[in-house]
A = this chain, B = another copy of it.
Amino acid sequence: MTRYTPLDYIGRNKPVWCAGCGDYGVLTALFNVFSQKKIDAKNVAIISGIGCSGRLPDFIKAYGFHGAHGRALPIAIGVKVANPSLNVFVVGGDGDGLSIGAGHFPHAARKNIDMTYILMDNSLFGMTKGQFSPTSPCKFESGSSPYGTLEEPMDPIALSLIYGSTFVARGYSGPSKLNDLINLIRQAMEHKGFSFIHVLSPCITYNKVVTFQSLNAQVVDIDEKHEITDRNEALALALREEKLYVGLFYKITKPTFGERLITISEKCGKRGLDIERLYVNFT
């Protein structure tokens, strides 16, 4: 690439999202982060599952993998481990990441893979036309819950903290917080380790409860005094029910999976391919 304006990262396909969908905010933020950091798109891989949010890789100039519903994290781990020099992003919805993909999230986080996971949360399944999701509020009425949901919503921030992510933040795709979102994504990308950003990204077509309007009234910036290296404090902040905090909850440094892999290779003394030594196993 020779130019790095946000427009230079526009992908081959026009977004198929409804006009006004929260996901445009995330896309715009990514354009801006890439531009700010003058990222060469050839070094970016964006891995997604299935959902409205999962269509993002089609709309951005970068390598992408639009695989199976809920499997973006394992695929991304493969990408990053195979080529540690790539900037790896995972994007997907609340259903993709917390419903069908719920089993992969803890394992990606605790490995501290050096990548950024952006969970675009609209509190329902947009792509399949509006059924409730793991983050739908209590008693949420939807096509599959016409009398209201029966379960309590999951809190992606708390989960991510317990799972061992080393960078945990919440952003909001509403215009008022777009700059903050850009900053969060940039910091996440700069962070060495597993960074998780929970983005409140409303579905304007199916969600009549969690909307830009409702969120504008709820989101509150995290206090500047918040100690981002204290996991218990971060958890307490996440679990406080009255407020919906946005900003950086937690950030610490730990060896990444890649770094630990290198120590293993070193333990093995980089012996190289010595066939005769291998054959000793069998003689």
Give the B-binding residues of A (Cβ under 8 A): 98-104, 106-107, 110-112, 134, 147-148, 150-155, 158-159, 162-164, 231-232, 235-236, 239, 257, 260-261, 264, 267-268
Contacts and interface: CB of A to CB of B under 8 A. Distances in A.
Nearest to A158: B162
12 contacts: A101-B103, A102-B104, A102-B106, A106-B134, A110-B152, A110-B153, A110-B154, A150-B257, A152-B164, A162-B162, A231-B239, A235-B235
Contacts of A154: 106, 110, 163
A153 to B, nearest CB: 8
**Chain A binding surface, main DSSP class:** helix
A257 B151 contact: yes
A130 B163 CA distance: 24
Contact of A267 (B99, B147, B232, B260): B147
Given A103-B101, A231-B239, A232-B239, A147 B110 contact: no
A198 to B, nearest CB: 14
Number of copies: 2
Given A102-B103, A102-B104, A232-B235, 7 more contacts: A98-B106, A102-B102, A102-B107, A110-B153, A147-B264, A150-B257, A158-B162
Contacts of A152: 110, 112, 164
Nearest to A149: B260
Contacts of A103: 100-104
A102 B261 CA distance: 24
Contacts of A110: 134, 151-154
Contacts of A153: 110
Contacts of A148: 264
A264 B164 CA distance: 38
Contacts of A102: 102-104, 106-107
A100 B102 CA distance: 11
